[in-house]
Amino acid sequence: MKAGALVLAGLGASFGAVLAAAPAQTGEVVITVTDIRSAKGVVRACMTTRADIFPKCIKDPAAHRTVVPASGKVEIRFTGVKPGQYAIALLHDENNNGKADRAMGMMPKEGYGFSRDAPVRMAPPKFTDAVFALGAGTSRVTIKMRYFL
């Protein structure tokens, strides 16, 4: 092998190593929650890329989840999020029992919300109604908390 080819091969290997070592681009999602009816309990947030389990993204080990105290103004941040298609589900767990309480087994007794304020029609919204694209940088999402009862 000629000396020039060796130098080019070495540079190519070095350049490839630098590319492999470069951190993946990540983003941040800042969620502003509006219309919370009380400061009781907590707000549970879950963000997933999986349409098959939304909105119960607790079943997604890769989902971004957090619990914050309920208050007049709630802001939730997910950092280090890989670019992709995501949907967010929120629960105002007023009694902090870790679940969405229901009246007569069907109607939610606590607040709920979804990204893109996805509509609820006799069932939780579909992933396609709540999905948004996230790239590198910061995405701001506003979600209105809704109450049935």
Tens-digit pLDDT profile for the chain (149 aa)?
554 443 334 434 443 444 444 456 899 999 999 999 999 999 999 999 999 999 988 889 999 999 999 998 899 999 999 999 999 999 999 999 999 888 876 788 999 999 999 998 888 999 999 999 999 899 999 999 999 87
Task: Give one DSSP letter per residue of 43-106, joined into a string.
Answer: EEEEEES-TTTTT-GGG-TTSEEEEEE--SSEEEEEEEEPSEEEEEEEEEETT-SSS--EETTT
- Where along the chain do its domains lie? 25-144
Q: Indicate the pTM of the whole model.
A: 0.81
CATH topology of domain 25-144: Immunoglobulin-like (2.60.40)
User: What is the rounded distance in angstroms from the CA atom of residue 132 to the CA atom of residue 30?
Assistant: 13
